[in-house]
Structure 1
Amino acid sequence: MTESLLHRQTVAAVEQSQPKERIRRLVWKICIATLILMAIGSATRVMNAGLACPDWPLCYGKFVPTKQMNLQVFLEWFHRLDAALVGISTLALSFLSWWNRRSLPGWLPWAATFALGLIVFQGILGGLTVTELLRFDIVTAHLGTALLFFTTLLVIGTALTPYQGTGTAGKLPWLGLLAAVLVYLQSLLGALVGSRWALHQCFAGQELCGVMYSHIGGVVPPTLATLAVVFLSWRTPALHPALRQLANMAGGLLGLQVLVGVATFRLRLQVEPLSVAHQAVGAALLASLVAFTVLALRDRTNASSGSVHT
């Protein structure tokens, strides 16, 4: 009889874990699609393809504008296609979270709904970028919302990932959070520089140089905060290997981002792949810091509660 009870409990635990595992996999797939979406959006901007499709949401009044298709039209069209897929997937994420809410953490349906709200708002901004002819504040808000959506998915996915902390994170969660916020703000400054073409205008006619130099000077705070995360992670004994790996990844991505940024500046945005890589590496750096912060917070929470659990 005891064996039968244990068997039923095991079956029930497996059944409860299945929706959580499916949702976790879906979240990470949407994360990857969103990272690709932001890279394509960056390529669309640097290739002057933001208005390659003059209407919205269709392109030349068609779902697939085969007659007008060229590189610029393809970039803008594919950007919209990927955005639509991300939107549909996020709608499915919200639906599944509410449908299976009894076997999921209580915060998950609300977090999924928040992500859905962000993607709806992002779609509105995407339409406005076309109808308002790439107005710089809308373009900047478009990227800022995309990064916030990306961050929300990262928080959800990392929080659902099985993790057994060591309870040694200490103040690392707050330091990681500070670094992530500073990187996000620096990304917004970069979006403003790009949407106003500040680098070109400064070199060509000494205009908007203040905007450009604010982004260059703004690299210092997130750099120092990220280096502090790496240094303190090295100095923290018995830190979980996952946290050490994420800290090392953040340090490596920071170095790569600085190199790509310097190369982009020295070449005056003449090499488009460098500009795309600059934004993609920045998003990856933000992702590593967000994942680090969530895991470190889980580690600290486990330590304060006096128990380590998955």
Structure 2
Amino acid sequence: MNECVLQQQNEAAALQQKPKEVIRRLVWKICIATLILMAIGSATRVMNAGLACPDWPLCYGELVPAKQMNFQVFLEWFHRLDAALIGFSAIALAGLSWWHRRSLPNWLPWASTFALFLIVFQGILGGLTVTQLLRFDIVTAHLGTALLFFITLLIVGTALAPYQATGTVGKLPWVGLTSAILVYLQSLLGALVGSRWALHQCFAGDQLCGVMYSHIIGLVPPTVAILALVFMAWRTPALNPALRRLANMAGGLLFLQLLLGVATYRLHLQVEPLTVSHQAVGATLLGTLVAFTVLALRDWFANREIKAYSV
């Protein structure tokens, strides 16, 4: 009799875990698609394809502009296609979260709804970038919102991921959070430099050099914060292996990002793949820091609960 009851309890727990697992997988797929979307958006900008489709949301009045299709039109059209697919996926994520809300954490439906709001707002900004002829503040907000959407998905996916807390993180969550915020702000500065073509204008006629130098000087705070994070992770002997790997990954991505930034600057943005890689690696670095911070906070809160129970 006890075995039957235990089996029923295990089956009920498995049924409750199934929606959570489905949503977690969906979130990670949308994360990857969003990272690709931002890379395509960067390629669209550096290839001067931002207005290759002169109308919105269609392209030359068609869903698929076969007659006008060239490389630039394809970039802009594919960028919109990927964004639309992510939008439909975000709707599915919100719907699943609310439908299975009784077997999910209370915060998850609200987080998925916020992600849906961000992608809708992102779509509006995408339309405005075309209708307002690539106005620099709208282009910058477009990338900033995309990064916020990416961060929201990463927080949800990492919070749902299996994780065994060790309770030895110390101040690492706050260093990780600081690093993530600084990298996000630096990404916005980079978006501003790109949307105003500040590097080109500074080299060509000494215009907007202040915007360009703000991005260069702005790399110092996040670099110091990430190096501190890596050093502190190395100095924490009982740190969870997942956190240690993420910290090492952040250090490696930082080094790669600095190399790409120097190469992009020295080559005056003449090698488009370098510019696209610079933004893609920056977004990956930001994602790595967000994942580290969420896991470290889970560890920190678990340690506080253990201490509360032991008192």
| TM-score using structure 2 length | 0.98
Q: Which amino acid aligns with 1:186?
A: Q
* Deviations 1:36-88, CA, capped at 9 Å, x for gaps: 00000000000000000000000000000000000000000000000000000
- Please name the residue that 1:174 is paired with: 174
Unaligned runs of 5+ in 1: none
Q: Quote the sequence identity (%).
A: 79
Q: Which residue of 1 aligns with 2:262?
A: 262
Task: Specify the alignment match of 2:214 in structure 1.
Answer: 214
Residue matched to 1:248: 248
For 1:268, give the aligned amino acid: H
Q: What residue is the counterpart of 2:154 in the other structure? A: 154
2:290 maps to 290
Equivalent in the alignment of 2:238: 238
Write the letter of the residue equivalent to 1:163: Y
Q: Give the whole-Å Cα distance in 2 for the aligned partners of 1:109 and 1:164.
A: 24
> Runs of 4 or more off by more than 3 Å in structure 1?
none
Deviations 1:186-214 (A, max 9, x none): 00000000000000000000000000000
Deviation at 1:268, TM superposition (A): 0.1
Q: Helix, strand or coil: the match of 1:54?
A: coil
SS of alignment partner, residue 62 of structure 2: coil
* Aligned residue runs from structure 1 range 1-310, under 5 A: 1-306=1-306
CA distance in 2 between partners of 1:6 and 1:276 (Å): 54
| Aligned equivalents of 1:271, 1:160: Cα separation in 2 | 39
Post-superposition offset of 1:109:
0.2
Deviation for aligned residue 1:284: 0.4
Whole-Å separation in 1 of the counterparts to 2:110 and 2:167: 28
Report the alpha carbon displacement of residue 170 of structure 1 after superposing the two structures with TM. Answer: 1.0
- What is the TM-score of this pair, normalised by structure 1? 0.99
Cα distance per residue 1:282-310 (max 9 Å; x no partner): 00000100000000000011111018xxx
Supply the distance in 1 between the matched residues of 2:82 and 2:234 (Cα, whole angstroms): 39
| CA–CA separation in structure 2 for the residues paired with 1:199 and 1:304 | 48
Distance (whole Å) between structure 2 residues aligned to residue 101 and residue 172 of structure 1 = 32
Per-residue deviation, 1:237? 1.8
CA distance in 2, matches of 1:237, 1:154: 26
One-letter amino acid matched to 2:10: T
SS at 1:57 equivalent: coil
**In 1: Cα distance, 2:108 partner to 2:173 partner:** 21
Distance in 1 separating the partners of 2:185 and 2:135: 20
Cα distance, 1:257 vs structure 2: 0.0
CA distance in 2, matches of 1:286, 1:8: 43
Report how many aligned residue pairs link the two structures.
307
SS in 2 for 1:306: helix
